Amino acid sequence: MKTRGKVSGIISNLVTVEVDGPVSQNEICFVTSDSVRLMAEVIKVIGKRVFVQVFESTRGLKTGCDVEFMGHMLEVSLGPGILSSIYDGLQNNLKTMDGVFLKRGEYTDALDSTVEWNFTPLVHAGEVVKAGSWLGEVTENSLPHRIMTPFKFEGNYTVKSIAGEGSYTINHVIAVLADSDGNEREVTMVQKWPVKVPVTCYKDKPRPFKIMETGVRIFDTFNPIAEGGTGFIPGPFGSGKTVLQHALAKQAEADIIIMAACGERANEVVEIFMEFPKLDDPRTGRRLIERTVIVCNTSNMPVAAREASVYTAMTLGEYYRSMGLKILLLADSTSRWAQALREMSNRLEELPGADAFPMDLSAVISSFYSRAGHVVLNNGKSGSVTFIGTVSPAGGNLKEPVTESTKKVARCFYALAQSRADSKRYPAVDPVDSYSKYLEYPEIQEYLNKTVEENWPERIAESKNIILRGKEAAEQINILGDDGVPPEYHDRFWKSELIDFVILQQDAFDKIDASTPMERQKYMLDLVLEICRTYPAFDNYEECAAYYKTLINILKQLNYSEFGSEKFNAYEKQIWEMSQVGLTIDN
C-alpha cells in the first residue's frame, strides 16, 4: 500500500508534507493541485514531517492538498531510442511535447514504444548471466546498442529462453531468466534505473591510462585529459565556455556525446538544437546529432530540476558505458546546479557554508564526479565516461566555493581568462593557471612516450616553462619599458608569444585549424621548440619584435594549410630559411 500525506507548508517549491506511513530519502511523490499531479522528490524526513522539492511551479498549491508517494527514486528509462533525443531533467521528451513552453504536470514517455528494432541475440538458452550482461543487440543510428540484463538484478541468472533474430518493440519480451531459486523473470529491451545511484555492473575500475584526443591543442598538447577522466572549465561570462564545449563535442574521440544544459540561458540551448542537426560528423560521415543526447534544463525551468538534469545525463552515460562505448559528457554549467542546491538548503534552514552554499557541497560534487571513469566490464570489454563540466563563477572569481570544491576532485583544470578573451586569444584557456594532473600518472606518461613521442611529457614541461618565463619577462618590460631591459628579455617574451599564437590559439571556424590530429600537434610543437632553442643576436627590441612577428605570421599560415601539402611545405621552407632550423616533414 502506498504512503499518502497532506501538504502542511509551502515555501516556493519546498513543500512540507504530513505522512501516514513510511517514506524513504529521495523517494518520488506526486502532489495534486487542482487535479494536476506535480512530481516531487523527498529531500528530508523528520518523523512524520517530510520535506519535498517540487519539480514544477507550486503556484496555486494549498495546504491540505493530497500527496501520493510512489515507493521508488527518480528513475530514467534505458533502452533503444535515446540517441538523438532531447530531454529535460526528468527525461521528458521535449520533441513530443505540445507548445513552446512546458505545461505544468505534463510528462511524456522517454522512449517510443511503437518503433520496431532489429534484434540479434548474443546468448543462448542455458548460459549464465548477471546484471549488465549482453543478451542481444540492435543498431541505433549506426551504433551497436546492447540489450543487457537489467542492472537491478542481483546474483547469477540462467537464460531459459531468448528471442530469435527479428524486429521487436522495446516492450516485447526478448528473454526469460531464472534465478538460483528457479524464479523466472521476463526481460524487455527497456529497463529503469535511479539517477542518483551509480551503475556498478562492471568487473574493475582502473585508473585512466590513455588520453582522449579532442583536436584542441591547448587540451591535447598542453593539458591532456584522460579517457575516463574528469575536468572542468571555469571562467567569467562571455569568455568562451560554451563555444569550447561545442568544439569538444564535434571533435573529441568519443562514440557518444551527452550534453547537459543545466540552467543555461535558453538562447544558448536553442543554438545547440539548431546547430547540431545540421553538423556533419567527421568520425562517421553522418549527422553529429545521431550520436548525441541533449539533456536540457534552461534557466527559466524549475530550479529543482537542474539537479535532476546532471544526474540524468550521468546515468545515460553509465548506461552506454556498460555497452563498451566511450562517452563524453559535457555539463554547462555546474554552478547553476550548485545554486539550486544552495536555494533548497537555505529554504530548509540548514547551516550555511561559504557564500551560503551547503556545508556538504564538496562531498556532493566529489560523489558526482567519481561516477565518471574507465571500467572493465564483466565480459572483458571496456568502456568509459569522460566528464567535463563548466563553472560560471560570479565576476570570474576562481576562489569562490564551487570552483574550489571542483578543483579538489577534477583532475584537469582549464581556467578561462577574461584578459585572453578580451584580446581575442581563443580558446581563452590560461596556459599558466591551467593544469592536467594526468601528466603525473606513470600510465599516462608511458602512453604518451609510446604513442606520441619519446620524452613527450618533458617537451610539454619545456613549453610551459617558456610560457612562464615569457610572462615574467612581459611584466619586467611593462614596468621598466621596452628600452629599460636588454634584448634577451624581449627574446624570452616573444618566444612565449610564438608558442601562444601558434600552439595555444586555434581558429574554431577554419576547416583545417578547427581540429588538429595528434601527429600534426607533435610536428608543430617540435618545430616551435626548435625555434625557441635558438638564440639569434638582436641589437635592439624592435629588431627582435620584427623577427618573431614574421615567424608567427608564417607559422599561423602553416596552421591554415593542409598538413604535408605543397602550400604547407612552402611555408615550412620559409621558416627554415629564416630560423635555419632545417626541419623537414616526413611525408
Say if 560 falls within a structural domain.
Answer: yes
- Taking residues 33-48, report their average pLDDT: 94
| DSSP H/E element including 264 | strand 256-264
| Of the ranges 87-96, 338-347, 458-467, the best mean pLDDT one | 458-467
Residues 237 and 382 placed together within one structural domain of the fold: yes
Q: How confident is the model at residue 254 (pLDDT cuts 50, 70, 90)?
A: very high
Say if 292 falls within a structural domain.
Answer: yes
The 10s digit of each residue's pLDDT in 427-481 is 999 999 999 999 999 999 999 999 999 999 999 999 999 999 999 999 999 999 9
Report the distance separating Cα 436 and Cα 220, nearest Å. 10
Provide the pLDDT for residue 586. Answer: 38
Is this prediction's pTM over 0.85?
yes
60 has pLDDT over 50 = yes
Say if 231 falls within a structural domain.
Answer: yes
Domains: count for the chain: 4
CATH number, domain at 28? 2.40.10.170
Per the model's pLDDT, the better-predicted residue between 395 and 184 turns out to be 184
189 has pLDDT over 70 = yes
Q: How confident is the model at residue 585 (pLDDT cuts 50, 70, 90)?
A: very low
DSSP for 372-408, written as a single string: -EEEE-TTS-EEEEEEEEEE--GGG-TTSHHHHHHHT
317 has pLDDT over 90 = yes
Residues 325 and 416 placed together within one structural domain of the fold: yes
The 10s digit of each residue's pLDDT in 190-202 is 999 999 999 999 9
C-alpha pair distances (Å), 368 with each of 195, 296, 307, 371, 512 = 11, 18, 11, 6, 36
Say if 476 falls within a structural domain.
Answer: yes
- Taking residues 294-309, report their average pLDDT: 79
Residues 480 and 375 placed together within one structural domain of the fold: no
CA 378 to chain centre: 25
Report the distance separating Cα 484 and Cα 481, nearest Å. 5
Give me the phi and psi of 553, to 5 degrees please.
Answer: -60, -40
- Among 436, 469, 501, the domain boundary falls at 436
Per the model's pLDDT, the better-predicted residue between 585 and 82 turns out to be 82
581 has pLDDT over 80 = no
Residues 34 and 180 placed together within one structural domain of the fold: no
C-alpha pair distances (Å), 535 with each of 114, 285, 461, 494 = 70, 46, 20, 12
The 10s digit of each residue's pLDDT in 206-244 is 999 999 999 999 999 999 999 999 999 999 888 888 889
Say if 261 falls within a structural domain.
Answer: yes
Q: How confident is the model at residue 151 (pLDDT cuts 50, 70, 90)?
A: very high
Cβ contact 492:471 at 8 Å: no
- Taking residues 541-565, report their average pLDDT: 94
Provide the pLDDT for residue 583. Answer: 35
Residues 177 and 268 placed together within one structural domain of the fold: no
Respond yes or no on whether the N-terminal peptide bond of residue 22 is cis (omega within 30° of 0): no
- Taking residues 272-292, report their average pLDDT: 83
Report the distance separating Cα 227 and Cα 266, nearest Å. 30
Average pLDDT, the chain: 92
> Angle of helix 266-275 relative to helix 241-251, nearest 10 degrees?
20
**Nearest Cα to 129, choosing from 309, 330, 323, 378?**
378
Q: 506 is in which domain, residue-wise?
A: 456-579
CATH number, domain at 556? 1.10.1140.10
Say if 297 falls within a structural domain.
Answer: yes
Residues 249 and 184 placed together within one structural domain of the fold: no
Q: How confident is the model at residue 284 (pLDDT cuts 50, 70, 90)?
A: confident
**Nearest Cα to 239, choosing from 355, 432, 397, 388?**
397
Provide the pLDDT for residue 300. Answer: 66
CATH number, domain at 261? 3.40.50.300
Tell me the pairing of strands 230-234 and 382-391. parallel
The 10s digit of each residue's pLDDT in 512-535 is 999 999 999 999 999 999 999 988
Give me the phi and psi of 230, to 5 degrees please.
Answer: -130, 145
Q: How confident is the model at residue 580 (pLDDT cuts 50, 70, 90)?
A: low
**Nearest Cα to 133, choosing from 119, 144, 123, 143?**
123
Residues 547 and 421 placed together within one structural domain of the fold: no
Residues 320 and 417 placed together within one structural domain of the fold: yes
DSSP 501: I
Tell me the pairing of strands 143-148 and 134-140. antiparallel
Say if 202 falls within a structural domain.
Answer: no
